[in-house]
Structures are given as C-alpha cells and as structure tokens.
Amino acid sequence: MRLSGKVAIVTGGGRGLGRAIALRFASEGAAVTIAGTNRENLEATAAAIAAAGSRSLAVVADVAGEPAVVNMVSAALREFGRLDILVNNAGITGPTAPVAEARCEDWERTLAVNLTGAFLCAKHAIPHLVAQRNGRIINITSIAGRIGYAMRSAYAASKWGMIGLTRSLALELGAHGITVNAIAPGAVRGERIGNVVRDRAAALGKTAAEIEREFFVEPTALKRMLDPEEIAATALFLASDEAAGITGETIGVTAGFRL
C-alpha cells in the first residue's frame, strides 16, 4: 500500500491511461479524484474503484477552462481534505494533417487541452502541495514530445511543451519538497491509438494494419505496443516515496522506440 493515506487527482481518468493510473493508485491505498469530460466513463471508473474497496470522486471538467479546474481541485479538497498527487493525463490527439493544411482552431484546441490544461491544473494544485511541503506532480507527455512528428504537429508541440513545463515546475517547487516528473509513453493500445492509426491510414492511403506495423511496432525493440497498466506502474513509482529523489525528469516507457 505505497500510497496509503494519499489523495490524488487524475485528469482524463475515465478511460485509457487515466483509468489505469486511477485504478492502480486506488489499489495502493490512495483516494482518487478522477476528472474528464465524459460523465459515464468517469462514473464507471469510480464504480470500479469503489468495488475494489477504495474511495473516489468523479468530477466532470474540461481542463482547458480555468473555472472548471478550480472547481475540480475544490471538489477534491472538500471530499478528501487534502491533495498529495496530481497526474496531468488529460489530452486529445489533435489533427492529422500537414501544417500547411491544418486548421488554426484545431491547433489551438490541442494546445489548450494538452498543455494549457496541465498548466492550469498545476497552478491550482500547487498552493495545496506547498502548504504540506510535500507532493508529486506527474505529467503524461509522449514519445512525440521528443521527436519530430509529421502530420501531428499540434500534438507533438503540446507534448514538447509539457516536458518544458515539467522541468520548469521542478525548479520552482523543489525547495518545497514537491517533485515534478513526466512520463513519455510510446504507443499504448486503446481507443486513442486506434483513432490515430485510422486517421493516419486515411491520410496516407494505407491500411490500418500497415500503419500500425510501420509507425508503432517495427520501430520498437520489443516489437509491440504497450498496455496501459505498464504506464500506470511507472506513475505509481513516481508517486511513491521510493521516487523522492527524482524530479525534473522525463521517463520514457516506449517498448524501446527508436529515437
């Protein structure tokens, strides 16, 4: 029970990586507030946590808007009385198009959710973590935050930005006993990567199987995609006392993706 007595917020917690992280944290003793835009998904995750004997709270919130983030943090504090861990996982895939053809509104929405959302959540969580002189912020970036990514420029830019935000926050908060790290997953099986594969296949005139093999399997050492639980295991480590000496780092969990 490495997170016994801790309280966490996991954004994008209704499905995929966020759901896996929330369930793993709860299994290790944390009370978890899960936030996202789909109430049905959030309530299903909350029910799974409750069925396992842990406490949770589901909050509908679009992290791109500051009032929604303020409400999310306030709700967690009202329910559980404290905050120890923030996982900035909420994100969208953004457009699949070359820059010359991409719509400005798609670019802006991608950065608003993926990057500004992480900034806003950190901004409003920090005072409560500082008050305790202890805490963890974990940003879920992507291998796309370390490489060029043709036809996914908005997504890549948002994930590069998260790495810069991580390093900056680590410098600001270290003196308060707060660690800030990022996880950069490779391709993780689930609905999101399925949509990415579909859109890229359509744009390039290839089959989904060809895209999956060429872009997401063959470039890895392990020759496979990841499962969400593999990312959740790394998030648990970073949230635990075992990682107290790690901050400002971006940890790749990529199945050995070739950079």
Active site amino acids: 155, 159
Which residues face 178 on adjacent strands? 135
Greatest Cα-to-Cα distance within the chain, rounded to the nearest angstrom: 54
- Say which amino acid occupies 141: T
Burial 44-64 (b: 16+ CB within 10 A, else e): ebbeebeeeebbbbbbebbbb
* Residue 138, SS3 per DSSP: strand
Around Cβ 197, how many Cβ atoms within 10 Å?
Answer: 21
CB of 29 closer than 8 Å to CB of 3: yes
Phi, psi for residue 198 in degrees, rounded to 5: -60, -50
Q: Which residue has the tokens 């936030």?
A: 35
Which residues face 138 on adjacent strands? 87, 181
The pairing of beta strand 7-11 with beta strand 31-36: parallel
* Residue 35, SS3 per DSSP: strand
Alpha-carbon gap, residue 244 to 223, rounded angstroms:
32
